[in-house]
Amino acid sequence: MRKKILIDPVTRIEGHLKVELEIEDGTVVSAKSSGMLYRGLEQILIGRDPRDASQITQRICGVCPVAHGMASSMCLDAAFGISGKIPANAWLVRNIIHASNHIHNSILHFYHLALLDYIDVAKVKKGVSPEMDLVVQFLQRDEKNPFVPRDEEFRFPDQVNQRMVENYLRALDIRRIAQETLAIFGGKMPHQCGIIPGGVTQKVDAGKIENCLGKIKEISEFVNFHYLQDLMDLVKYYPEYSSIGKGCGNLLAYGAFPVPGSPGLEKFQPGGVYYSSGMKVEDINPEKITEAVEYSWYQGSKGHPSNSFPQPDPFKEESYSWIKSPRYDQQVFEVGPLARVLIAYTKNVQPWRGALQEVLDATGLKLNDIISVAGRHLCRGIECNLLLKEVERWLLSIEPAGDFYKDYEIPQESTGLGLTEGARGSVGHWISIKDKKIAHYQVISPTTWNCSPRDSQNNPGPLEQALAGLKIKDEDHPVEAVRIIRSFDPCLACAVQLKSSEKIRAKKFYLWM
């Protein structure tokens, strides 16, 4: 007998997500992922000073504002004709700000968004540490919100469970320190002000470098000692999560963190397109990106983000989401840390290949197992660890006496494209400028790819595919499903945007990736 399970809202993610599962004999036969909020930020951008985009687009998401600030600034650098003239120091500082947001997000996601699905807070004992005493004292309250109600399917042995609960609390401090690391160069978090078109707002002195190094060391200690170990234990005690929630298997990354001084500003984290069919990686061609709106609450044209203008229509029949369906080469692609790490591995780029190989050897997982719930968590941890090391290198490469900013004129007419990686995956910003104002602005965010609804060929999005075929033990507590959903680290505020403007067909998009 077929029936439906509705998970609305999906919590411990960013934003408003609804997931509908159609079940037959305990197995998911079809899933629908719906973004439930529309704000229209791209529409708000039209007619404004182009420079404002680097601040306004950060308000797309308060968890990963930097990726938007970065994509937007790169997009504006390109439109202003100064992409190749950004000082090396500015790239280093931009990279540090950007990477700190990734580091913050990895820790936040694993410990505070995902881990409550696996740990039993009620099982901790008194007298182990001050933090655990605090938990025990809390558990004596009549109302234990927000830690109840909850789904219960816990497997960690007591000792491991206890350590994980302690780390949940420790990680609250560590992720705060990651935000402070960012604020050293970004001014504040969320919604930093350091990255602007042309470079960064402030020169860096020895005091800032020292301050940042200290914080990076503190975060690294936690990541090396606890985070990586906790990930291993997740793989060990929840083994089937290395084989479920696989999804489409096609992976995409634009790449991020340009290395100043390298030929063609090579990226520390390479981009590429990984086709599951051939297990090979090709170079990315942004012209192959299209967006479908068949099942989204929009009317009108579709196509390449530089020249498509659908309008919102909340009453459109057959539609079930505010998220559109971006596709590459007409196919479904997953983005995120999993995509980035696996693409770098397949391209044989260090230190990524070595780091993933080490994890494969330690866990006994095969490469194919990495495309899974556990794989997404593992890759987020691998990335966090490697970025911490790289931030140290970037910091020590800064020349405090050098330039940090390149001045520019806003052109009468221009176009630009900025492609980079947010914590959750690939971020693209497209702009057209006319009469020195924004005429068209388009954003495609990671969760737009990952949580997209069906496209014109009726192909479900990556999350929808990852849920199909899943066996659900207890339909009142579909914990398997929420674990899969959360492994994607959905960010709905990012996913739902809208493009709209006077119709301008961009002549040429300066490519900056």
Partner 1 sequence: MENNTLRAIWFQAASCTGCTISILNSSSFKVKNLLLDEIVPGHQLCLLFQPTIMAGSGEKVIEVLKEQKTKKDFFLIVEGSIPTKDNGVYGRVGEKTLLEWFQQLASASLGIISLGTCASFGGMFSAAPNPAGCKSVKQVCEESNIEKPIINIPGCPPHPDWFIGTIVHLVNKGIPEIDDISRPLGFYGSLIHENCPRRPYFDKGKFAYKFGEEGCLYLLGCKGPFTNSDCPLRQWNGGTNWLIRNGAPCFGCTEPDFPEKMVPFFERLKDKPERDTQ
- Encoded one letter per residue, x for contact with partner 1 by CB under 8 A and - for no contact, window 112-151 reads xx--x----x---------x--xx-xx--xxx-xxxxxxx
| Start-to-end CA span in the chain (Å) | 50
Classified as helix, coil or strand, 422 is strand
Contact flag: residue 430 with partner 1 (CB under 8 A): no
Measured from the CB atom, the residue of 13 and 289 that comes closer to partner 1 is 13
Beta bridge partners of 274: 251, 281
Kindly tell me the burial class for residue 153, based on how many C-beta atoms sit within 10 Å of its own C-beta (0-12, 13-18, 19 or more).
Answer: middle
Q: Choose the binding region for partner 1 from 13-21, 71-79, 365-373, 440-448 (rule: CB under 8 A).
A: 13-21
Q: Alpha helix (H) ranges present in 187-333? A: 206-222, 228-237
Measured from the CB atom, the residue of 85 and 191 that comes closer to partner 1 is 191
Contact flag: residue 446 with partner 1 (CB under 8 A): no
Number of residues that bind partner 1 (CB under 8 A): 91
Candidates 94, 102, 109, 175; binder of partner 1 (CB under 8 A) is 175
Candidates 498, 501, 509, 512; binder of partner 1 (CB under 8 A) is 498
CB of 137 to partner 1, least distance (A): 7
Locate 456 and state its tokens.
Answer: 């014109």
Contact flag: residue 41 with partner 1 (CB under 8 A): yes
Q: Annotate 263-297 with three-state secondary structure.
A: CCCCEEECCEEEECCCCEEECCCHHHEEEECCCEC
CB of 359 to partner 1, least distance (A): 28
Distance in angstroms (rounded) separating the CA atoms of residues 467 and 247: 7
Tell me, what DSSP letter sits at residue 39? -
Distance in angstroms (rounded) separating the CA atoms of residues 256 and 341: 12
Locate 236 and state its tokens.
Answer: 């060990």
Measured from the CB atom, the residue of 466 and 493 that comes closer to partner 1 is 493
Measured from the CB atom, the residue of 327 and 483 that comes closer to partner 1 is 483
CB of 395 to partner 1, least distance (A): 15
Classified as helix, coil or strand, 48 is coil
Candidates 78, 200, 378, 438; binder of partner 1 (CB under 8 A) is 200
CB of 91 to partner 1, least distance (A): 15
Contacting partner 1 within 463-492 (CB under 8 A): 478, 482
Task: Classify the phi-psi angles of 303: left when phi > 0, otherwise alpha if psi is within -120 to 50, otherwise beta.
Answer: left
Measured from the CB atom, the residue of 88 and 281 that comes closer to partner 1 is 88
Residue ranges of E strands in 137-236? 195-196, 199-200
Candidates 23, 31, 63, 253; binder of partner 1 (CB under 8 A) is 63
CB of 100 to partner 1, least distance (A): 11
Locate 157 and state its tokens.
Answer: 């042995």
Contact flag: residue 229 with partner 1 (CB under 8 A): no
Contact flag: residue 243 with partner 1 (CB under 8 A): no
Q: Is 290 in contact with 302 (CB distance < 8 Å)?
A: yes
Contact flag: residue 7 with partner 1 (CB under 8 A): yes
Contacting partner 1 within 389-408 (CB under 8 A): 403-405, 407
Locate 300 and state its tokens.
Answer: 């009108």
Biggest distance spanned by C-alpha atoms of the chain = 71
